[in-house]
């Protein structure tokens, strides 16, 4: 069934840390669907190409993701000693965050609910040529 005690299994699972450079933006004021349009455009691209796509994209989410991409590249350069020119986007995804509920007044005393969605966006980079 299992190969050891529960604590041993947890210890083995936690030992496998992901050493790729990454950055995460929590509680971004953009919906997951709108963020995914931009993330789909840059997934698998090199750092320089993705930066160019984001710089000229008219969507609001592209500004947020551009800052996030720069942060992940800075983490790679400063913390892991990687070269920015050798990086590409290995993974990027958006998860749903908490939804803020607001009330908008309507005719005849009614009230409509407005849902302001948030998301958690993650960008994970990796080197093109592993040494």
Per-residue pLDDT of the chain (131 residues; tens, 9 = 90+): 457 788 888 888 778 777 889 999 999 999 999 999 999 999 999 999 999 999 999 999 999 999 999 999 999 999 989 999 999 999 999 999 999 999 999 999 999 999 999 999 999 999 987 65
Q: Please report how the helices 60-80 and 47-55 are oriented relative to each other, as an axis angle in degrees rounded to 10.
A: 150
Q: What is the pTM of this model?
A: 0.83
pLDDT for 130: 66
What total of structural domains would you count in the chain?
Answer: 1
- Whether residue 14 lies inside any domain: the answer is no
Whether 54 is covered by a domain: the verdict is yes
48 in any annotated domain: yes
Cα–Cα distances (Å) from 67 to 50, 61, 79, 123, in that order, read: 12, 10, 18, 11
Question: What are the helix (H) ranges across the chain?
Answer: 6-15, 32-42, 47-55, 60-80
On whether the CB atoms of residues 82 and 127 are closer than 8 A, the answer is yes
């Amino acid at each position: 069934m299992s190969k050891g005690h529960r604590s041993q299994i947890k210890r083995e699972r936690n030992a496998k840390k992901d050493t790729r450079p990454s950055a995460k933006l929590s509680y971004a004021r953009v919906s997951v669907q709108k963020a995914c349009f931009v993330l789909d455009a840059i997934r698998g691209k090199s750092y320089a190409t993705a930066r160019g796509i984001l710089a000229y994209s008219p969507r609001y989410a592209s500004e947020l993701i551009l800052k996030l991409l720069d942060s992940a590249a800075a983490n790679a350069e400063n913390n892991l000693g990687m070269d920015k020119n050798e990086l590409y986007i290995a993974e990027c995804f958006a998860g749903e965050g908490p939804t803020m509920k607001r009330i908008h007044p309507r005719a005849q005393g009614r009230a409509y609910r407005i849902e302001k969605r948030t998301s958690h966006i993650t960008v994970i980079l990796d080197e093109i040529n592993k040494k």
